[in-house]
Amino acid sequence: MATELIRPILTVDVVLLTLHDDRIQVVLQAREKAPHAGQLALIGGYVHPEEDPSTQTAAARVLRGKAGLSVRVLEQLMTFSGGSRDPRGWSASVAYYALLPHRDFAARGDASLRMLPVAEAKGLPFDHDAIVAGAIQRCRRRAAYSSLPAFLLPPEFTLPELRRAYEAALGRSLNDSAFRRKIDELRMIEPVAGSLSKVTARPAQLFRLTKANVVEFDRTV
């Protein structure tokens, strides 16, 4: 066997995204240990080959173990690697992004977790700035032709809420009536019995997704 002696460090990092104030926000966690102890960073940890069937399940385990959260969408972004990204040595981190309805985050009430608008999440340790940027870019791209943004919302939502989720994910405003037409044609959602009463105006119809997982469309939203 040649030079497979040195095996690099393998970790997972999760870019946990949620929607609040009509903006995409990242959930960060204060690091417990060195390096960068005390600083806000992505939720991450070592891959444990003896217990993790894959990096995907490792990411879910870390999310549950360190933040007490489980999510409906957890997708792999890409792997970041190199000798200088982590002072402990040459490492590779398989990055994931996860989507969480804000109410689930709020209900958790974990003091170590902190939510920040993506534009303000700068100066993070390691190469986490680049990982966050990559996650946002991927989500933006994917939002254009999939039901992804719906997973930033609770299971039941109104059309205006869904539109705002798409607008936040895409980073641009959408034409309301055209949006309704498209969503209707894509058969992405179905109405639920009840109605939501916004305090001071006409109540909106509640909808739910027709499919429990992210679906991709041939057309663009």
Sequence-distant (≥ 6) Cβ neighbours of residue 61 within 8 angstroms: 48, 51, 52
Residue 220 in contact with a second copy, rule: CB under 8 A: yes
- Which of a second copy, DNA, none does 205 bind, CB closer than 5 to 8 A by kind? DNA
Site string for a second copy, 21-60 (x = CB under 8 A): -------------------------xxxxx--xxxx----
- Which of a second copy, DNA, none does 111 bind, CB closer than 5 to 8 A by kind? none
- Which of DNA, a second copy, none does 83 bind, CB closer than 5 to 8 A by kind? a second copy
On the CB side of 69, CA atoms within 13 Å amount to 33
| Given 30, 36, 76, 133, the residue binding a second copy (CB under 8 A) | 76
Nearer of residues 47 and 165 to a second copy, judged by Cβ: 47
Residue 112 in contact with a second copy, rule: CB under 8 A: no
Sequence-distant (≥ 6) Cβ neighbours of residue 170 within 8 angstroms: 140, 143, 144, 149
- Which of DNA, a second copy, none does 182 bind, CB closer than 5 to 8 A by kind? DNA
| Given 92, 174, 186, 214, the residue binding a second copy (CB under 8 A) | 92
Task: Give the interface with DNA as residue ranges (CB under 7 A).
Answer: 158-160, 175-178, 180-182, 195, 197-205, 219-220
How many chain residues bind a second copy (CB under 8 A)? Answer: 28
How large is the C-alpha radius of gyration of the chain?
19
- The DSSP result for 23-58, as a single string, is EEEEEEEE--SSSSTTSEE-EEEE--TTT-SSHHHH
Residue 130 in contact with a second copy, rule: CB under 8 A: no
Interacting residue ranges for a second copy, rule: CB under 8 A: 2-4, 6-10, 46-50, 53-56, 76, 78-79, 81-83, 89-90, 92, 94, 220
